Amino acid sequence: MLSTEQVIRRGQMRDRVFSILGVALTILCLGVLAILLVNLCREGLARIDWQFLTTFPSRRAAKAGIFSAWVGSALVMLVTGLTAIPLGVAAGVYLEEYGRRNWFTSLIEINIANLAGVPSIIYGLMALGLLIYKWEDWFGDKTDSIAGLGQSIITGGLTLAFLILPIVIVATREALRAIPQHMREAAYALGASRWQVVKDHLLPYSTGGISTGVIIALSRAIGETAPLVTIGALTYIAFLPPAPFSHTESGQMVGPFAWLSSPFTVLPIQMFNWVSRPSSDDNNFAVNAAAAGIILMLVTLTMNTVAIVIRARVRKKVKW
């Protein structure tokens, strides 16, 4: 049998070894992130300039830019945000504040939990089959106005909105659940109706939590490639969607929402396209890919940092 001292020393030794292992693995993971960033910057940082941001893709790597890609990303995100945020917050409010516990609400809850685990590419298949082809089968001949969902910004935006909807719903519910019940009672006791409690108290108090979730969801959507490839977003777009009330070449004025049915590309698809192209020294698409990757990383890391800061602030501020 070992002496007590030996046992203690052995335990301390093991603790120390494990501690070092934990720190080392954490540093390793963060190191990978750092190498990824450094590698991107080394390859692509020099490529980023005004010209890169304001020119269209081209067959000549050195002349190609990401103008249509980032405009496409921004417009798709606009549609995604405007769809997923109100829908997701409303659904979260219903499930947390209105829905009684019964088979129906648990069906919705199970459904949302499952949706959150469905691979993004499946959403792409769904949008391809439903929003593009079935939509055309069902409505195509009758009305021109809604026939053209097609491979357009609105289809892309809706696809990503469906994809992030579960994240927004879950974030909303968690933020609402964090508000203590006595806050609700205080408002009800003054004669507030359910909706007044929601709009005057619960939503304002949960803004921080909800926006954290929304930002993380949007940052995920902005980096999504697969579902948009599936619905057939193009890789070579050398024009911008029509601005509201602008004039076409034939002199016709377009409506305020014409851009919604415009074909599009997005930043990650542009990067994917450049990654998959054969590069040579005098036509180096890999450099373009790295440059697009830097922009993409900049956007997602910024959004995630903002989300982390908001979450930390909310936690610190709230004491109820």
Q: Which of residues 39-98 bind another protein (CB under 8 A)?
A: 39-40, 43, 86-88, 90-91, 93-95, 98
Identify the H or E element spanning 91.
Answer: helix 67-93
Identity of the residue, 8 or 253, whose beta carbon is nearer to another protein in the bound complex: 8
Tokens of 41: 């910057």
CB contact burial 292-312 (16+ within 10 A = b; e otherwise): bbbbbbebbeebeeebeebbe
Count of residues binding another protein (CB under 8 A)? 114
Identity of the residue, 120 or 152, whose beta carbon is nearer to another protein in the bound complex: 120
Identify the H or E element spanning 291.
Answer: helix 285-317
Residue 147 as a binder of another protein (CB under 8 A): the answer is no
Q: Supply the minimum distance, in Å, between the C-beta of residue 306 and another protein.
A: 12
Q: Supply the minimum distance, in Å, between the C-beta of residue 252 and another protein.
A: 29
Residues 6+ apart with CB under 8 A from 286: 43, 274, 275, 279
Here's the x/- map for another protein, 14-43, by CB under 8 A: it reads as xx--xx-xxx-xx-xxx-xx-xx--xx--x
Identity of the residue, 51 or 111, whose beta carbon is nearer to another protein in the bound complex: 111
Identity of the residue, 23 or 243, whose beta carbon is nearer to another protein in the bound complex: 23
Identity of the residue, 58 or 193, whose beta carbon is nearer to another protein in the bound complex: 193
Tokens of 108: 């919705």
Query: What are residue 284's phi and psi, to 5 degrees?
Result: -90, 90
Q: Supply the minimum distance, in Å, between the C-beta of residue 107 and another protein.
A: 7
Q: Supply the minimum distance, in Å, between the C-beta of residue 8 and another protein.
A: 8
Q: Which residues sit opposite 280 in a β-bridge?
A: 283
- Piece of the chain touching another protein by CB under 8 A; list 10-18, 56-64, 140-148, 250-258: 10-18
Residue 236 as a binder of another protein (CB under 8 A): the answer is no
Residue 215 as a binder of another protein (CB under 8 A): the answer is no
Nearest to 76 by CA among 263, 275, 213: 263
Candidates 165, 171, 237, 310: give the one binding another protein (CB under 8 A).
165
Do the beta carbons of residue 207 and residue 178 sit within 8 Å? Answer: no
Please work out, in degrees rounded to the nearest 5, the angle formed at the alpha carbon of residue 59 by the alpha carbons of 56 and 65.
30
Tokens of 174: 């968690």
Here's the x/- map for another protein, 103-142, by CB under 8 A: it reads as --x-xx-xxxxxx-xxxxxxxxxx-xxx--xx--------
Candidates 177, 182, 247, 313: give the one binding another protein (CB under 8 A).
182
Q: Which residues sit opposite 253 in a β-bridge?
A: 247
